[in-house]
């Protein structure tokens, strides 16, 4: 197969000779926005992330195979790919572990008042607080029960939480006490102490967290978003955080980077991180294994 591989696969150059040993012809380009180092029609397969945000997929007339370095499919023209029967593989499972750890970490920072104690440490202030919370016994609602959601469920379950899921499809899983469909969301959202968003960005999920959703949250609820920024109506979230006793752990945003003028930066009930939850020291190893297996087998 003639493969065009981009720098989205960070350690790709270590494996080019191995791929060529399997009989593949490989061309590497570092930056996906740069001019293509070959004619688009040359490539039969690509390993990339946002290549088709910068180059028209229609020009890749011999394309048969796409391997993404991301878990999400929102950066590729899925309908075109399906129509032309191009094999599409994502990086399912590669980033689930660090993202799940991040979700737990964010909630614990709020429950244990980590920011307050850190500030007190800076000023050498010895001040006890008697209102710290426990994760034990809390209702955790995970919206999106795929690989990331399942890893979140496992970790929150280890703290003694009750785990409820909401997903686009119904299925049984030993990691969830119960999974509901999106149409039942209104009945379970008000019961949640913690809500973790891990659902994909689709037409059905864009703006899913709207004003109605936010004003149904119980007092003290922590909303964690590690999916995509556009699943939340940012304006509605900002308003709700200003007037309600709720919290948010936000790693993704509608527009990235988050504007310096955004009020979210300065809210005491918000933790802001720069789309960083997927980073972990084991992710590169998992991605390397997945991509090599995918190219050899033609699928993950």
Q: Mean pLDDT across the chain, nearest whole number?
A: 97
Helix (H) or strand (E) holding 5: strand 2-6
The CA distance from 273 to 257, in Å, is 10
- pLDDT at position 297: 84
Q: List, in sequence order, the alpha helices (H) in the chain.
A: 16-21, 51-54, 78-83, 96-111, 114-122, 147-158, 185-188, 211-214, 234-243, 283-297
Pair (210, 113) in one structural domain: yes
Pair (166, 47) in one structural domain: no
Candidate list 75, 92, 275, 286, residue with the active-site label: 275
Pair (172, 43) in one structural domain: no
Is 275 labeled as catalytic in the residue annotation?
yes
Pair (69, 122) in one structural domain: no
The CA distance from 43 to 64, in Å, is 9
Helix (H) or strand (E) holding 272: strand 270-272
The CA distance from 41 to 55, in Å, is 12
Pair (252, 107) in one structural domain: yes
Pair (182, 57) in one structural domain: no
pLDDT under 70 in the chain at which residues?
298-300
Is 285 labeled as catalytic in the residue annotation?
no
Is 162 labeled as catalytic in the residue annotation?
no
Pair (118, 260) in one structural domain: yes
Candidate list 256, 260, 261, 285, residue with the active-site label: 256
Residue 68 half-sphere exposure, CB side, CA atoms within 13 Å?
25
Pair (164, 45) in one structural domain: no
- pLDDT at position 14: 97
Pair (265, 237) in one structural domain: yes
Candidate list 228, 254, 261, 285, residue with the active-site label: 228
Instruction: Please say whether the beta carbons of 243 and 217 come within 8 A.
Output: no
CATH number at residue 7: 3.40.50.720
Pair (154, 71) in one structural domain: no
Pair (160, 251) in one structural domain: yes
Query: How many distinct structural domains can be found in the chain?
Result: 2
Give the structural domain span for 200.
96-272
Pair (164, 254) in one structural domain: yes
Q: Is the pTM of this model over 0.85?
A: yes
The CA distance from 198 to 149, in Å, is 6
- pLDDT at position 299: 63
């Amino acid at each position: 197969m003639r493969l065009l591989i981009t720098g989205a696969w960070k350690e790709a150059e270590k494996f080019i000779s191995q791929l060529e040993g399997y009989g593949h012809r490989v061309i590497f380009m570092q930056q996906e926005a740069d001019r293509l180092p070959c004619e688009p029609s040359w490539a039969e397969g690509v390993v990339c992330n946002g290549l088709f945000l910068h180059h028209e997929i229609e020009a890749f007339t011999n394309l048969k195979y796409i391997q993404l370095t991301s878990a999400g499919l929102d950066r590729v023209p899925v309908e075109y790919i399906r129509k032309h029967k191009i094999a599409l593989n994502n990086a399912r499972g590669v980033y689930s572990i660090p993202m799940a750890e991040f979700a737990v970490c964010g909630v614990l920072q709020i429950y244990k008042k980590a920011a307050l104690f850190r500030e007190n440490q800076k000023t050498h202030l010895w001040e006890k607080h008697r209102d710290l919370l426990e994760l034990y016994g809390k209702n955790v609602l995970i919206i999106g029960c795929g690989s990331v959601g399942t890893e979140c469920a496992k970790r929150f379950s280890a703290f003694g939480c009750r785990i409820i899921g909401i997903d686009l499809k119904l299925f049984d899983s030993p990691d969830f006490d119960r999974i509901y469909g999106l149409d039942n969301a209104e009945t379970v959202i008000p019961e949640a102490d913690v809500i973790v968003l891990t659902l994909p960005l689709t037409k059905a999920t864009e703006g899913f967290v709207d004003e109605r959703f936010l004003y149904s949250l119980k007092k003290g609820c922590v909303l964690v978003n590690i999916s995509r920024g556009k699943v939340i109506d940012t304006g509605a979230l900002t308003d709700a955080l200003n007037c309600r006793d709720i919290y948010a752990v936000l790693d993704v945003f509608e527009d990235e980077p988050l504007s310096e003028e955004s009020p979210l930066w300065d809210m005491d009930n918000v933790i802001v991180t720069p789309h960083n939850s997927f980073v972990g020291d084991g992710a590169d190893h998992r991605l390397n294994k997945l991509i090599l297996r995918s190219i050899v087998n033609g699928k993950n």
